[in-house]
Structure 1
Amino acid sequence: KSEAWIRLFARSSPESLPEIAVCIPGHGAILGAWLGAWVIPLDWDRPWQVWPNSCVMGAIYGYAVASVLSCIVSALYSNNKKKVKET
């Protein structure tokens, strides 16, 4: 099982629909948290920039956007598989 986790998160190469459903939102949350950390050094006087608020909010937004993207990619992936089976 550890090979699957390495393939999904270190190599970013999902091979099935459930793996796509796990991989894309996971990467989205990590990217969102990373982008949320960029605003921390700008101004500490704002309440939304206090550690770890911006990172947590970035992770939540990144996960939400990536979940929608994962649904779209999964739908396209399943449609392409159906077309391949028909030919």
Structure 2
Amino acid sequence: MLWLCPEYVKLESMGSDIPPENRMFSDYISWDKLTEDGCWGKFDKDSYPPEELAKIGKSFWNTFISGKCEGLKAVLEEAYHRKIS
């Protein structure tokens, strides 16, 4: 959210390395049971400048939302096709 409203983002280091044996359960058990603090992976606040994090975040969300929209479009087109058939 750093690219949308940076005034509300407090950058802090967080997370931890994920034990390899826990990865296979990630789709079935909540992360707070598989990780030390509920964060999936480790983040060091000094790894990237805030501007670069904002750019990465914007790119991620635009890609994510675009993919979800394409999926929704396909479902709606199929629903329409079934309705008029």
TM-score of the pair, normalised by structure 2: 0.49
Structure having the higher strand fraction is: 2
Structure having the higher helix fraction is: 1
Highest CA radius of gyration, 1 or 2? 2
